[in-house]
């Protein structure tokens, strides 16, 4: 990794060795970086000469807040950051009774093309580097003054399309000399890239895997998620079974409720059949309406009926509480609005 903030302690150690520095300095530099310092000058226990060299050779960039919106209703804060190359991504900080959670982006734009999602409308630009994901957590925490205990990789982008950088990010954010956020407090959401789910399973991480299912069968899923053409529902659910077997971690399925598309009693019945024998939890999310899309959210009654059908069949299902509705706090909406105004 080129950027010093994307490096492990061992990699920083190698850099410092080249500069004739003792190994113990690596941990010092790492923990300063992960405190969110804005310059090497703040690293008060480093020799002056070293601070100078690092400033020249490994310049630090602090993401700029382009827009910051705070919900008057529930304290949710949404950030639009400007990255070093001028691209923007968004992060949402949500306050829950169990702690503060940030929802981070993993890519600039997205190539997955889901019909209901705002992040994909302007296409894909690039993957985020590990430190660009870390900075979202770090600077949302610093700006809001709210210590972050939970992370969800559910912002812009497909995390498993940026596998290596996402894995490095997880290692960094979990490091005891860094933010030290427990893997059990991290959820990774994927639209269903089957080979990558298998690859992730091998790592046996304690994170929660969320799978954006959104449909009980290919006929419906093909309509709303192009990825289903490459990895159809049955293959995806088989990968989920393998993932559970390898990690022992229950899978969380995301299911955006779309009026007349996937919210019928028949859909619930098919879903129940499909999830049989797979320890799962279904998260029902009333669709957030995206201006450019003809898809509409399901009625409250349809959501409640769907939930009851799943629960009656012994499948735990919750309806996601919507936070930040007054600040466009969902799925690429802020970046989209910003780009349209430019």
- Residues forming contacts to ligand SAH in the complex (CB under 6 A) are 112, 114, 116-117, 154, 158, 189-191, 212, 254, 256, 285, 287-288, 290, 331
Residues whose CB falls within 8 Å of the CB of residue 237, separated by 6 or more in sequence, listed in order: 274, 275, 278
Q: How far apart are CA 241 and CA 277, in angstroms?
A: 9
Residue 21 CB, shortest distance to ligand SAH, in Å, is 40
Rank residues 240 and 285 by Cβ distance to ligand SAH and give the closer one. Answer: 285
Rank residues 114 and 173 by Cβ distance to ligand SAH and give the closer one. Answer: 114
Residue 341 CB, shortest distance to ligand SAH, in Å, is 20
Put residue 42 in one of left, alpha, beta given phi > 0 → left and psi -120 to 50 → alpha.
alpha
Rank residues 29 and 201 by Cβ distance to ligand SAH and give the closer one. Answer: 201
- Report the candidate in 76, 103, 75, 101 with the shortest Cα–Cα distance to residue 89: 103
Helices (H), the chain: 9-18, 24-33, 48-57, 130-144, 163-174, 194-203, 218-224, 227-230, 233-247, 265-275, 300-312, 333-341
User: What are the strands, taking DSSP E only, across 121-179?
Assistant: 124-127, 148-153
Residue 116 CB, shortest distance to ligand SAH, in Å, is 5
- Report the candidate in 126, 36, 60 with the shortest Cα–Cα distance to residue 87: 126
Tell me if residue 90 is catalytic. yes
Phi, psi of 109, rounded to the nearest 5 degrees: 80, -175
Residue 211 CB, shortest distance to ligand SAH, in Å, is 7
Q: How far apart are CA 100 and CA 321, in angstroms?
A: 15
| Strand partners for 146 | none
Rank residues 41 and 164 by Cβ distance to ligand SAH and give the closer one. Answer: 164
CB neighbours of residue 315 within 10 Å: 20
Rank residues 106 and 247 by Cβ distance to ligand SAH and give the closer one. Answer: 106
3-state secondary structure of 305: helix
Which two tokens mark 140?
């949302």
Q: How far apart are CA 28 and CA 56, in angstroms?
A: 18
Tell me if residue 331 is catalytic. yes
Task: Find out whether 209 and 251 touch, Cβ atoms under 8 Å.
Answer: yes
Considering 114, 117, 240, 331, which one is annotated as catalytic? 331
Considering 13, 90, 158, 328, which one is annotated as catalytic? 90
Helix 163-174 vs helix 194-203: crossing angle, to nearest 10: 30
Rank residues 4 and 191 by Cβ distance to ligand SAH and give the closer one. Answer: 191
Residue 41 CB, shortest distance to ligand SAH, in Å, is 37
Residue 137 CB, shortest distance to ligand SAH, in Å, is 16
Residues assigned a catalytic role: 90, 331
């Amino acid at each position: 990794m080129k950027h010093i903030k994307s490096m492990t302690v061992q990699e920083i150690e190698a850099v410092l060795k080249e500069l004739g520095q003792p190994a113990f300095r690596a941990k010092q530099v790492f923990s300063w970086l992960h405190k969110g310092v804005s310059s090497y000058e703040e690293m008060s226990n480093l020799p002056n000469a070293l601070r100078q060299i690092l400033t020249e050779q490994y310049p630090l960039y602090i993401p700029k807040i382009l827009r910051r919106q705070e919900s008057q209703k529930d304290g949710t804060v949404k950030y639009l950051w400007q990255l070093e190359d001028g691209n923007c991504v968004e992060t949402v900080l949500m306050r829950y009774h169990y702690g503060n959670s940030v929802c981070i982006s993993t890519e600039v734009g997205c190539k997955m093309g889901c019909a209901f999602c705002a992040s994909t409308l302007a296409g894909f630009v690039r993957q985020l580097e590990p430190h660009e994901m870390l900075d979202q957590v770090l600077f949302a925490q610093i700006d809001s003054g709210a210590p972050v205990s939970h992370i969800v990789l559910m912002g812009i982008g497909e995390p498993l399309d940026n596998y290596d950088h996402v894995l490095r990010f997880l290692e960094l954010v979990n490091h005891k000399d860094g933010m030290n956020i427990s893997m059990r407090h991290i959820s990774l959401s994927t639209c269903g890239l089957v080979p990558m789910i298998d690859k992730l399973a091998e790592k046996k991480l304690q994170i929660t895997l969320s799978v954006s299912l959104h449909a009980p069968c290919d006929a419906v899923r093909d309509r709303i998620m192009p990825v289903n053409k490459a990895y159809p529902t049955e293959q995806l659910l088989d990968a989920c079974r393998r993932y559970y077997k390898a990690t022992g971690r229950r899978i969380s399925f995301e299911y955006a409720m779309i009026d007349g598309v996937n919210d019928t009693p028949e859909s619930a019945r098919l879903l129940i059949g499909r999830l049989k024998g797979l320890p799962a939890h279904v998260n029902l999310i009333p669709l957030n309406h995206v201006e450019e899309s003809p898809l509409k959210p399901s009625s409250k009654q349809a959501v409640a009926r769907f939930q009851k059908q799943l629960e009656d069949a012994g499948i735990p299902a919750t309806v996601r509480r919507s936070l930040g509705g007054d600040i466009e706090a969902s799925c690429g909406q802020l970046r989209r609005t910003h780009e349209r105004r430019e």
